[in-house]
A and B are shown apart, each in its own frame.
Chain A
Amino acid sequence: MSKFRMNAKASPVIGVAIGALLLSASAVGIGHAADLPEGFAKGELAPAPPAEMIEAGKRVYFTKCVWCHGVDGAGDGPGADRLWPRPRNFNQGTFKIRHTASGELPLFNYNERTPDSGKNDLFDTVTHGLPGSAMPPWEGILTEEQRSQVLSFVTTQLVKDRKFTDKQSETQTILQLGTIKPAEATEDSVKKGAQLIVDKKCIECHGVEGRGDGNAFNLKDDWGFSIQPANWHKCWNFRGSRQDPYNVRNIFRTFSTGVNGTPMPSFADSTSVEDRWNIANFVNSLCERDEEGKPLGIDPLTDKPKINFVVPSMAVEGEISSDPENEMWKKQGRRYVAMGGQITHKPRNFVNRIDDIWVKSLYNEKSVVYLIQWDDRTKSIAEGKLPWAPTQVNVENFGVKEQAPKTGEEGSIAAAQNNYAVYNDAIAFQFPIKWQEIPAPFKPRYLFGDAKFNADILKWEADGSLRSFKGTGWDQDFEERDDFEEKVKLLKSEWKNGQWTVMISRPLKGSKDDYDDYTRFDIGKYIPMVFFAWDGHNGDAGRKMAVSAFYYTILQPPIPQEVYIYPAVIAVGVVFLEGWMLTRRSNKKKGKVL
Chain B
Amino acid sequence: MKALMSVGALIGVLGLLMLIGMIFGVVPSNTVRLVEGYMPMQVLSELAIFVAGFAGLSYLANSMGMTIPRFWQGVLFWAFIQTYLKFRIYPPIPFSVRAMYGVVSFVAVFMWVSANEEDWKKFRQPILNVLDANTGFHKALRTMYLILLPILIGGFSFMTMKPSVDEPIELRTVHPAPPASTKVHGKTYTLQTSQNPYRVNLEGKYDQAYSNKLIVEQGMGRLMAPNANPWDDKAEGYLKYVREGGEIFFQNCHFCHGDNLNGRGLHAFAFNPIPANFTDPGTIAQLQETFIFWRVAKGGIGLPNEGFPWASVMPPWEQHLTTDEIWKVILFEYWHTGYYPRTWD
A86 contacts which chain B residues (CB < 8 A)? none
Report the minimal beta-carbon distance from B10 to chain A, rounded to whole angstroms. Answer: 24
Check B313–A343 contact: CB distance below 8 A: yes
Report the minimal beta-carbon distance from B310 to chain A, rounded to whole angstroms. Answer: 4
Task: Specify which of B154, B260, B308 is in contact with A64 (CB 8 Å cutoff).
Answer: B260
Task: Specify which of B162, B248, B252 is in contact with A559 (CB 8 Å cutoff).
Answer: B162
Tell which of A77-85, A194-202, A415-423, A505-513 binds the partner: A77-85
**A563, closest chain B residue (CB):** B161
Docked complex: A131-177 residues within 8 A CB-CB of B:
134-136, 138-143, 146
Check B224–A62 contact: CB distance below 8 A: yes
Docked complex: B118-138 residues within 8 A CB-CB of A:
131-132
Task: Specify which of A301, A345, A567 is in contact with B91 (CB 8 Å cutoff).
Answer: A301
Check B310–A442 contact: CB distance below 8 A: yes
Contact code string B153-187 (vs A, CB < 8 Å = 1, else 0): 11101100111011110101000000000000000
Task: Specify which of B158, B167, B264, B268 is in contact with A563 (CB 8 Å cutoff).
Answer: B158
A440 contacts which chain B residues (CB < 8 A)? 168, 170
Check B255–A355 contact: CB distance below 8 A: no
B221 within 8 A of A: yes
Contact code string B4-43 (vs A, CB < 8 Å = 1, else 0): 0000000000000000000000000110010110000000
**A135, closest chain B residue (CB):** B259
Interface of chain B: mostly helix, strand, loop or mixed: loop
Docked complex: A325-384 residues within 8 A CB-CB of B:
338-346, 348, 350, 352, 355
Check A443–B272 contact: CB distance below 8 A: no
**B308, closest chain A residue (CB):** A441
Tell which of B60-68, B286-294, B314-322 binds the partner: B314-322
Check A344–B220 contact: CB distance below 8 A: no
B223 contacts which chain A residues (CB < 8 A)? 59-60, 63, 146
Check A67–B250 contact: CB distance below 8 A: yes
A445 within 8 A of B: yes
A63-B216, A574-B154 as given contacts; A552 in contact with B168, CB under 8 Å:
yes
Report how far A573 CA is from B329 CA in the complex, Å. 64
Interface range, A side: 35 or more
A141-B221, A571-B151, A571-B153 as given contacts; A67 in contact with B259, CB under 8 Å:
yes
A556 within 8 A of B: yes
Check A301–B154 contact: CB distance below 8 A: no
Report how far A59 CA is from B131 CA in the complex, Å. 70
Check B229–A62 contact: CB distance below 8 A: yes
Report how far A446 CA is from B166 CA in the complex, Å. 21
Contact code string B275-288 (vs A, CB < 8 Å = 1, else 0): 00000000000000
Docked complex: A48-66 residues within 8 A CB-CB of B:
59-60, 62-64, 66
Check B165–A310 contact: CB distance below 8 A: yes
Interface of chain A: mostly helix, strand, loop or mixed: loop
Check A446–B157 contact: CB distance below 8 A: no
Check A567–B29 contact: CB distance below 8 A: no
Interface range, B side: 35 or more
B35 contacts which chain A residues (CB < 8 A)? 140
Contact code string A82-120 (vs B, CB < 8 Å = 1, else 0): 100000000000000000000000000000000000000
B36 contacts which chain A residues (CB < 8 A)? 140
Check A312–B251 contact: CB distance below 8 A: no
A466 within 8 A of B: no
Report the minimal beta-carbon distance from A335 to chain B, rounded to whole angstroms. Answer: 10
Task: Specify which of B33, B150, B255, B308 is in contact with A574 (CB 8 Å cutoff).
Answer: B150
Report the minimal beta-carbon distance from A358 to chain B, rounded to whole angstroms. Answer: 14
Check A300–B90 contact: CB distance below 8 A: yes
Check B310–A68 contact: CB distance below 8 A: no
Check A134–B150 contact: CB distance below 8 A: no
Report the minimal beta-carbon distance from B217 to chain A, rounded to whole angstroms. Answer: 10
A548 contacts which chain B residues (CB < 8 A)? 270
B320 contacts which chain A residues (CB < 8 A)? 346, 348
Check A310–B167 contact: CB distance below 8 A: yes
A392 contacts which chain B residues (CB < 8 A)? none
B151 contacts which chain A residues (CB < 8 A)? 571
Report how far A581 CA is from B170 CA in the complex, Å. 43
Report how far A571 CA is from B146 CA in the complex, Å. 11
A-B contact pairs, 6 of them (CB 8 A): A59-B229, A135-B259, A146-B221, A338-B270, A405-B251, A526-B168
Which 6 residue pairs across A and B have the least CB separation, nearest first? A571-B154, A340-B270, A79-B250, A340-B267, A302-B269, A78-B247
Residues of B within 8 A of A (CB): 29-30, 33, 35-36, 90-91, 131-132, 146, 149-151, 153-155, 157-158, 161-163, 165-168, 170, 172, 216, 220-224, 226, 229-231, 246-252, 254-256, 258-260, 262, 264-272, 299-301, 305, 308-311, 313-316, 319-320, 336
Q: A59-B223, A78-B251, A299-B269 are in contact. List 4 more A-B contacts (CB 8 A).
A: A62-B229, A445-B301, A559-B162, A585-B132
